[in-house]
Structure 1
Amino acid sequence: MILVVGGTGRLGRALVPMLAGAGHQVRIMARGDSQPFPDTASDGVEPLRGDLVSEADCRKAVAGCTAAVFAASGFGIKGSDPRAVDRDGAIRLVRAAAEAGVEQVIMMSMHGAAPDGPIDFLCCKAAAEESVGTSGMAWTVIRIGPLLEQRLELMTAPLEPKGKVLVFGSGTASVTYTSVRDAAALALRAITDPALRNRVIEWGSQTLTANEVAQAVLARVGHGAVQRIPPAAERLLSVVARPFSPFLARVSQAGIWEESGAVAFEWAPARAEFPDIPVTGLSQALGTLVPKESG
């Protein structure tokens, strides 16, 4: 049995069918609030409603599992807290897994994770990485960039009502994005491939500027314009939004980090190790998420 923590989230929804299709029995752990559980009664997937703040839920989730994939995150969800999910929840789940005799854990992390990271989210991810590295279990840490499909959805949210594509900051900084499908494919591979055991791997799909992404979207739909949130506005929001919208504040902080150029990384060496995993780039993601203008 493979446990997928955050199995109803964006990454989990991509990974669970891959695991089931490869013949694994899968258990999904999720709260079931932001996304409902899928109808999986017939395909070997067991839904388990649980919360990472609960020791009992974590113990129940790992019981009988040989491996666990931590794919949950509190960063991109309003009303959630990365400290509670990405740090404390991850540590709680890893501890429960080790005590239950789980053999292997795969931790989905983020490029830039460090105890002294420039944003709190990266510090949380570093703490989660430390927990798996010292757990006594076999482990893999997969550091990804911002999820390409998630970024496209955010940028195109005002397209239909306003004809605008949203760009945070100047849009000139290079960012290495990771496709959801590519991240899930490597997590699947980590279950069985010894080459991925006990290591940290940086896993990207394509490096682009936000302006390049926006222009690709506009070219596909054939109309619209860019709506830009200036860097100065990001800096202001990162401070003043904290009391009433922690979500907006941390998104703004992430935008400032991206503006620094530090979100770009060299992803080709890791890809060269696993050339059989296809690269999902912007053109493929656009084809799935952004309807093409007809006529």
Structure 2
Amino acid sequence: MILVVGGTGRLGRAVDSLLVAAGRQVRIMARGKSQPFPQKMADGVELLHGDLASAADCRKAVAGCTEVVFAASGFGIKDSSPREVDRDGAIRLVRAAAAAGVRHVVMMSMHGAAPDGPIDYLRCKAAAEDAVRSSGMDWTIVRIGALLEQRLEIMGTPLEAKGKVPVFGSGSAPVTYTSVQDAAAVVVRALRDPVLRNRVIEWGSQTLTANEVAEALFARAGHGSVQRVPAAAVRLLSLAARPFSPFLARVAGAGVWEESGAASFEFGPARAEFPDIPVTGLQQVLQASGAPGSLT
């Protein structure tokens, strides 16, 4: 049995599908708040309503499992936070898994994760990485870039509603994105390939600027213009919004980090090591999607 934590989220659903297609038994742990539980589950899939804040729920989730995929995140959820999910929840789940005799944990992380990272999210991811490394279990840490589908939805939904695409800062800073399908493919590969045990791999799909993403959205829609938020305003928002909207503050903080150019990374060597895993870039995601607000 493989436990997928956050299995109803954007990435988790893609992992679930690949595992079910491969004939694996899957247990999904989720709160059912940010994403509703499916009305019907595929054969071989067990759904567990559980909260990472509960040690008892974590113990229940890992019971009888041999492998765990941690794909949950509190970054993009307004009623949660990276400290609750990506740090404390991840650590709580890892400890429960080790105590239950789980053999292997695949921990989803982020490029730039470090104890002294410039934003809290990256520091939380570093703490989760440390926990799984020191757990005594086999582990794989998959560091990805910003999810391409999520960014397209964030930028594309206002285009559909108002004819404008929001761009933080200059829009010229390179950002390495990872598509959901690419991230899910490397997770499933890590579960079956011993070569990926006890190592960190950085997995990207395409490096783009926000201006390039906006132009691609305009080309698909046949119209639109950029609504630019100056870099100085983004920096101010990352600080001023903290007391009344931690969610808005961390989104703005991520924008400041991306504007620095640090969100771009070299993913060619990892891709060269596993050339059989397809690359899903911007145009492929746009071609496969429907309306801007329906990107999955």
What TM bracket, shorter-length normalisation? Answer: over 0.9
Number of the residue aligned with 1:273: 273
- Contact 1:109 1:144 survives alignment (8 Å): yes
Number of the residue aligned with 1:82: 82
Q: CA deviation at 1:114?
A: 0.2
1:86-97 to structure 2, matched below 5 A, reads: 86-97=86-97
Q: CA deviation at 1:18?
A: 0.5
1:8-23 to structure 2, matched below 5 A, reads: 8-23=8-23
| Distance in 1 of aligned mates of 2:133 and 2:225 | 46
Runs (4+) off by over 6 Å: none
- Contact 1:149 1:289 survives alignment (8 Å): no
1:47-66 to structure 2, matched below 5 A, reads: 47-66=47-66
Letter of the 1:260 counterpart: S
1:93-108 to structure 2, matched below 5 A, reads: 93-108=93-108
| Distance in 2 of aligned mates of 1:186 and 1:145 | 13
Q: CA deviation at 1:41?
A: 3.8
Number of the residue aligned with 1:195: 195
Letter of the 2:57 counterpart: D
Count of residue pairs brought into register by the alignment = 292
**Quick check: 1:175 aligned with 2:185?**
no
CA RMSD of aligned residues (A): 1.0
TM-score (norm 1): 0.97
Letter of the 2:285 counterpart: A
Q: CA deviation at 1:39?
A: 3.8
1:183-233 deviation per Cα after TM superposition (whole angstroms, max 9, x unaligned):
000000111101100000000000010001100110111111111111111
Identity of aligned residues (%): 75
Number of the residue aligned with 2:158: 158
Give SS of 1:158's match.
Answer: helix
1:221-240 to structure 2, matched below 5 A, reads: 221-240=221-240
Q: CA deviation at 1:290?
A: 5.0
Give SS of 1:202's match.
Answer: strand
| Distance in 1 of aligned mates of 2:148 and 2:107 | 19
| Distance in 1 of aligned mates of 2:38 and 2:141 | 27
Give SS of 2:37's match.
Answer: coil
With over 3 angstroms needed to count, the CA separation of the structure-2 counterparts of 1:110 and 1:177, relative to structure 1, is same
Give SS of 1:87's match.
Answer: helix
| Distance in 2 of aligned mates of 1:184 and 1:261 | 25
Greater Cα shift, 17-26 or 156-165: 156-165
Q: CA deviation at 1:107?
A: 0.1
Give SS of 1:157's match.
Answer: helix
Greater Cα shift, 243-252 or 30-39: 30-39
